[in-house]
Structure 1
Amino acid sequence: MHIRDAVAEDVPAILALYNHAVRSTTAAWTNAEETLDDRLTWFEGRKSKGLPVIVAVDGRNQVAGFASYGPFRAKEGYRFTAEHTVYVDPERHRQGIGRILMVRLIDIAKSGGMHVLVGGVDADNGASIALHESLGFEISGRLPQTGTKFGRWLDLVFMTLVLNAGRSAPAPVS
């Protein structure tokens, strides 16, 4: 498996992975599948802001997963905190693809000046929680029954990783 920056030609595969999660899992708390135009707009928006979109590809250059991060919240006080997302082809789960994507995303975040990565995970997704914990993330909060999907309430677990422990807080933005 090889990790590289995503290119526009990867967007249909990224879209397929995302829409599968919308249809079949509680990873995306929506029932609305995206169109190719929606995902291209997302991709171009991330790239224009210098935000990473990376893919894991196999020896035939087929996308097996993708990861990205974006702003956690809009206010300037959160500018060193990013919320990430990772999706892996369901036929390739438990092959370490999510881990290699996350390790690379963590490296990108550190080198890009981020201070904290946040993951919002369905509390019932034990595999994702275990993956995050194995990478040093901690459960920082649980928001009970904050979402619904498939006719049931879902709890949201926030998982955080401080990337640069001991880093001094920056001067205020004027």
Structure 2
Amino acid sequence: MLEEEYQQRRQLPRHLRKAPPQEAPFEYAIRDARAEDLPAVREIYNYYVTNSTVTFDEDRMTMREWKQKFAYLEKLGMPFIVAESPSGQLLGYALVSPWKQKRAYRYTVENSIYLGPAATGKGLGKVLLGELIDRSKAAGLKEMLAVIADQGAQASIKLHKQFGFREIGRMGRVGFKFDRWLGTVLLQLSLK
């Protein structure tokens, strides 16, 4: 008898086996971002800069750049939220920023949602996007855009469509990262 056959025979029937230990529940709290969160926010974002095409940034953002961005968004009253574990670890963040600098665009924002690698696949992105939409409405914003890479970000496109975002366009070959051309998918949600 082969060793594999022997191992298969020795297993108890499924109904007699012990249930696998349950994973601890994934717990977190959503709150406004604070200046002291910026080092963790930077690390989460820079992970994607270095390892993926979901952002077209090729250079890691510095603390100085994050502090400037945080101050700018705070001055404009733009939502910037984080998800924090019970132990205080930052699991992810979501923010909106002005779509364009021209004043006529002041009610239109672009969203950004990034999760720490250990927090992906657990529904946290959905929670952050829902909260970001609610807070953007409360802030008086009217249109939210998502600019998503056309390669490697299918889950993000699917998530946005679940919230009612509709595809309004595509741009091909507008970014070049990791020695390949990339395009974007543009989605829009009216917040009225």
Q: Same fold (TM over 0.5)?
A: yes
TM-score (norm. length: structure 2) = 0.83
Question: Gapped runs of 5+ residues in structure 2?
Answer: 1-27
**Counterpart for residue 149 of structure 1:** 177
Q: Does 1:98 align with 2:125?
A: yes
State the SS of the aligned residue for 1:131. Answer: helix
- CA deviation map 1:28-82 (0-9, x unaligned): 1121111112211211221122112110111112110001111111222212111
| Structure-2 separation of matches of 1:131 and 1:55 | 18
SS of equivalent residue, structure 1 residue 133: helix
| 1:52 and 2:69 correspond | no
CA distance in 1, matches of 2:187, 2:91: 24
1:108 aligns with 2:135: yes
Partner of 1:12: 39
Amino acid at match of 1:106: I
Mapped partners of 2:105, 2:64: distance in 1: 29
Partner of 1:89: 116
The residue aligned with 1:64 is 91
Unaligned runs of 5+ in 1: 165-174
Partner AA of 1:19 in structure 2: N
Q: 2:24 is matched with which residue?
A: none
The CA deviation at 1:27 is 1.7
Paired position in structure 1 for 2:160: 132
Map residues 160-171 of structure 1 onto 2, 5 A cutoff. 160-164=188-192
Q: Tell me how far apart the structure 1 counterparts of residues 101 and 60 of structure 2 sit (CA, whole Å).
A: 25
Partner of 2:65: 38
Q: Which amino acid aligns with 1:100?
A: V
Moved more, 17-26 or 40-49: 40-49
- AA partner of residue 77 (structure 2): G
Amino acid at match of 2:159: L
Root-mean-square deviation (CA), in Å?
Answer: 1.0
Higher-Rg structure is 2
The one-letter code of the counterpart of 1:140 is I
Residue pair 2:95, 2:132 contacting (<8 A) in 1 also: yes
Runs of 4+ in 1 over 3 A off after TM superposition: none
Give the distance between the partners of 1:118 and 1:4, measured in 2 at CA.
Answer: 22
Partner amino acid, structure 2, of 1:118: L
